[in-house]
A and B are shown apart, each in its own frame.
Chain A
Amino acid sequence: DIQMTQSPSLLSASVGDRVTLSCKASQNIYKYLNWYQQKLGEAPKLLIYYTNSLQTGIPSRFSGSGSGTDYTLTISSLQPEDVATYFCQQYNSWYTFGAGTKLELK
């Protein structure tokens, strides 16, 4: 099984900050990576697919990058509504999710 490790598990940042969340796969996943946002009490929401493609309707302050085993989700200017837990998910070999990064306001 491919393991996905997200860091940090908790991130505190201020409105307007540039925020970077990391996701590391246990083996090369060839950019087969998606990112989801989950707000408290809600279902996950697809943000980015295939490493860097923005899902329709998602603000352009969200972006993704990476290759091989290392991937990043960046929020260019943090907004209050971005408070959530973010999950990465690989689909190189079925589907596994990271444990999540909880993003809170400082």
Chain B
Amino acid sequence: EVQILETGGGLVKPGGSLRLSCATSGFNFNDYFMNWVRQAPGKGLEWVAQIRNKNYNYATYYAESLEGRVTISRDDSKSSVYLQVSSLRAEDTAIYYCTRIVGGYNPSFDYWGQGVMVTVSS
């Protein structure tokens, strides 16, 4: 059974930083691209970042709106992916979901974690 579990959320002051972790199990982590998607309270979904697998040299990609403030990384030995977010702003307040992407030429986010809440407030 595929399992995805995010941790590391919480209350952070504006200007602060946070590192989110995502532990996975139940699938061959090395084969997959992993992503972070966020959802502000009562709002829609926003793709944040993607990290590809070793076959693609662990290439990373970021949403333009966040580029420069976020860093995605992975540790294949731990089947885990991470998201470092810096210079946090109130508008970064959201549930952050870790998701697996599958499908080659027709990618879709097929498994999601339960999400972790990040609140940016003084």
Interface on A for B, CB 8 Å cutoff? 1, 32, 34, 36, 42-46, 49-50, 53, 55, 87, 89, 91, 94-100
Contact = CB atoms under 8 A, between A and B. Distances in A.
Interface stretch (B19-27, B74-82, B102-110): B102-110
Contacts of B30: none
Main secondary structure of the interface of A (DSSP, over half): loop
B9 interface: no
Contacts of B92: none
Q: Closest 8 A-B residue pairs measured CB to CB?
A: A43-B112, A95-B47, A49-B108, A97-B45, A50-B106, A99-B44, A34-B108, A46-B110
A43 B115 CA distance: 7
Contacts, number: 51
Contact of B112 (A32, A44, A50, A91): A44
Interface of B: 35, 43-47, 61, 63-64, 97, 103, 106-110, 112-115
Contacts of B45: 36, 44, 87, 89, 97
